[in-house]
Amino acid sequence: MFIHIMTALLILTNFYMLGSSRLSPIITAVSAQAVILAAVTVISTDLSFVSPEFYLIAASLVIKSVVLPVMLKKALVRTGIRREITPVIGYSLSLLTGVLLFLVSVKGIKMLPFPEGVFNMTVSASVFTFFTGLFLIVGRVKAITQTIGYLSMENGIYLFGTLSAGGSSAIVELGILLDLFVGVFIMGIVILKIKREFDHIDTDELAVLRD
Amino acid sequence: MTVYFSSAVFLLSLFLSPLIRGVINRVKAWFGGRKGPSLLQPYYDLFRLLKKGSVYSKTTTWIFKAAPLINLGAAVTALLFLPSFGLPSIINFEGDLVLFVYLLASGRFFMILSALDTGSSFEGMGASRETFYSALTEPALLFALAGLSAFTGSLSLSGIYSMISKSAYSAEIIPALVFIVFSLLIIFLAENSRIPVDDPQTHLELTMIHEVMILDNSGPDLAIIEYTGSLKLWIFGILLTSLFPVFPGIPQYLAIIYYLLLLFLFSSFIGVIESVMARLKMIQIPRLLVIASAFSALWFIWIVR
């Protein structure tokens, strides 16, 4: 019952990220995703408080739901951006694409063998989270939204790994997480630099090289 | 025995439906710090309008006079197909849910014709908007009903809702209810021209959708249109609240009381929504309706996964 509700919530956060133009709530949504993931991991692998994996999960929860969102929000405040104004793909079309992506993830995972007792919608939701992140990267213009898409992709991969490999994936997760941490850290600095040089952070405008 | 109960409930629906509007207005007034009109005010309005005579413009034809009656007929027929309060509907057959949706649509089609018939530019504008938005709610409603019939294995409204009232939801279905309830809520607001989509109390023709279409109707015709409006509120409210059944085995009269309370609780909730929300910009309404369609599709995919 709990895992079913968490799955529905995960799908809802994805749709929120696809349909919202304001950046600050999208960051909140991605940190909510991290909380949902931690909850699902703890429930589905029934770890004890003394196991090292538990602390790894706790650390990744803190980094993904507190540290990274705070950094992103700081970047948001300092660049003075509040919403995505001209996305490559409009919001209604994004939502409809989201439905298609969800359908693909539901039908696609049927071909994969999964351990007994895993709710198949949770696996679909993890693939869908991955797709949502990918979609945000290609479908939005602002560098911050693309960073959020990167985070959401990572969330999807993590959940997929947890469900298919059990608790041991926490170590793999730590590796990805460090990558991500460095990635977001650098992106935050780069975004500020770009903003200072060009007065905007639209990646589309950065395509032309000049002396 | 059930047929008598169903008929009694049908008459009860015809009689009680204006009360929903009264409840919504009362809640809105209470939120605004006013005392508000009596709960029976919609009935007084209907009687006042029925006592008046009708005025017809010279440009109108018979369509203008026939449309309110056709609209009322369509709504009452749709009510015949609607299983309310855990009872089967009076008429039902496999596949009646499509007929149900399009009965309501045909009523609206004639209202649009009558709005165009008056030759007023404002009414033409309202008709165009009504067509646009109702076309966008249709996929949402059909997807929601398709998901329900895939869930219960029945293609008639009575079959669907009797299955729902007989068996408890499994743990895998309960989270998906969020999707269909949210989608049906948006459909309710859009189909009945309530606040985030349309403001029933606005007096500026440029911003109106539904109300601008009935500017030229007066007297009994207007009363019929208003009454049909409250029937539609009732119908869509029942569609939504019947998703939350009482546990089976309790006496029928208690079940009816439970569903009535639920329906009026839902009406108060609509009143709260209308009090705390502002109208959306016209260009944002399609996005809201796309969200409704997306949620219906999610519900459908979750069921047939």
Q: Provide ipTM, 2 decimals.
A: 0.84
Instruction: Identify the CA nearest to B162 among candidates B153, B170, B171.
Output: B153
Which of A92, A119, A124 faces B290 most closely, judged by CB atoms?
Answer: A92
Tokens of residue B278, six digits: 């502002």
Give percent of chain B above pLDDT 90: 59
Q: Which residues in chain B have their CB less than 8 angstroms from residue A9's CB?
A: 175
Mean pLDDT of A46-60: 74
Give percent of chain A above pLDDT 90: 23
pLDDT at A178: 66
- Cβ count within 10 A of residue B201: 9
Instruction: Identify the CA nearest to B165 among candidates B93, B248, B82.
Output: B248
The DSSP-derived string for A27-62 is: HHHHHHHHHHHHHHHHHHHT--TTSHHHHHHHHHHH
The residue of chain A with its CA nearest to that of B182 is A12
**Higher confidence at residue B36 or residue B247?**
B36
pLDDT at B109: 94
- Burial, A54: exposed, middle or buried (Cβ in 10 Å; 0-12, 13-18, 19+)? middle
Is pLDDT above 60 for A167?
A: no
Give percent of chain A above pLDDT 70: 81
Task: Give, as one character, the DSSP assignment of residue A80.
Answer: T
Is pLDDT above 80 for A196?
A: no
Distance CA B296, CA A95 (A): 12
HEC string for chain B: CHHHHHHHHHHHHHHHHHHHHHHHHHHHHHHCCCCCCCCCHHHHHHHHHHHCCCCCCCCCCHHHHHHHHHHHHHHHHHHHHCCCCCCCCCCCCCCHHHHHHHHHHHHHHHHHHHHHHCCCHHHHHHHHHHHHHHHHHHHHHHHHHHHHHHHHCCCCHHHHHHHHHHCCCCCCCHHHHHHHHHHHHHHHHHHCCCCCCCCCCCCCHHHCCHHHHCCCCCHHHHHHHHHHHHHHHHHHHHHHHCCCCCCCCCCHHHHHHHHHHHHHHHHHHHHHHHHHCCCCCHHHHHHHHHHHHHHHHHHHHHHHC
pLDDT digits (tens, 9 = 90+) for B214-241: 888 888 999 999 999 999 999 999 999 9
Distance CA B174, CA B179 (A): 10
Interface of A with B (CB under 8 A): 1, 4-5, 7-9, 11-12, 15, 19, 91-92, 95-96, 98-99, 102-103, 106, 119-121, 124
pLDDT at A119: 80
Mean pLDDT of A103-130: 86
Q: Which residues in chain A have their CB less than 8 angstroms from residue B297's CB?
A: 99, 103
Distance CA B138, CA B134 (A): 6
Q: Which residues in chain B have their CB less than 8 angstroms from residue A39's CB?
A: none
Which of A8, A103, A121 faces B178 most closely, judged by CB atoms?
Answer: A8
The pair phi, psi for residue B87, each rounded to 5°, is -105, 155
Location of structure tokens 């693909």: A104
Residue B195: pLDDT band (50, 70, 90) is confident
Instruction: Identify the CA nearest to A180 among candidates A19, A18, A34.
Output: A34
The residue of chain B with its CA nearest to that of A8 is B175
Tokens of residue B89, six digits: 């509907």
Mean pLDDT of A164-182: 66
Tokens of residue B172, six digits: 């895998």
* Helix or strand holding residue A132 (H, E): helix A120-139
pLDDT at B72: 96
Location of structure tokens 């005025």: B55
Return the residue in A2, A18, A121, A123 with the most chain B beta carbons within 10 A, the one to mutate for interface testing: A121
pLDDT at B239: 93
Distance CA B255, CA B92 (A): 21
Handedness of CA B294, B295, B298, B303 (dihedral sign): negative
CA dist B165 to B144, B148, B173, B255, B261, Å?
17, 13, 15, 10, 16
pLDDT digits (tens, 9 = 90+) for A15-30: 999 988 888 899 999 9
Q: What is the dihedral of CA A128, A132, A137, A143, to 10 degrees?
A: -130
Is pLDDT above 90 for A41?
A: no
pLDDT digits (tens, 9 = 90+) for B112-158: 999 999 988 889 999 999 999 999 999 999 999 999 999 998 899 99
Location of structure tokens 């369609």: B293
| Residue A166 near residue A115 (C-beta atoms within 8 A) | yes
Mean pLDDT of A154-171: 75
Contact check, Cβ <8 Å, B294/A121: no
Handedness of CA B247, B250, B253, B257 (dihedral sign): negative
| Residue B246 near residue B86 (C-beta atoms within 8 A) | yes
pLDDT at A209: 65
Tell me how close the Cα of A191 comes to any Cα of chain B, in angstroms.
30
Contact check, Cβ <8 Å, A121/B305: yes
pLDDT digits (tens, 9 = 90+) for B230-275: 999 999 999 999 998 887 778 888 888 999 999 999 999 999 999 9
Distance CA B107, CA B121 (A): 22
Tokens of residue A112, six digits: 């994969």
Q: What is the dihedral of CA B72, B78, B84, B89, to 10 degrees?
A: 130
Among the ranges given (A44-48, A50-54, B205-209, B215-219), the one the predictor scored with the smallest mean pLDDT: A44-48
B294–A contact, CB cutoff 8 A: yes
Which of A8, A95, A124 faces B175 most closely, judged by CB atoms?
Answer: A8
Tell me how close the Cα of A77 comes to any Cα of chain B, in angstroms.
27
Is pLDDT above 90 for A128?
A: yes
Contact check, Cβ <8 Å, B171/A1: yes
pLDDT at A174: 66
Distance CA B218, CA B57 (A): 11
Contact check, Cβ <8 Å, B294/A11: no
Residue B103: pLDDT band (50, 70, 90) is very high
Q: What is the mean pLDDT of chain B?
A: 90
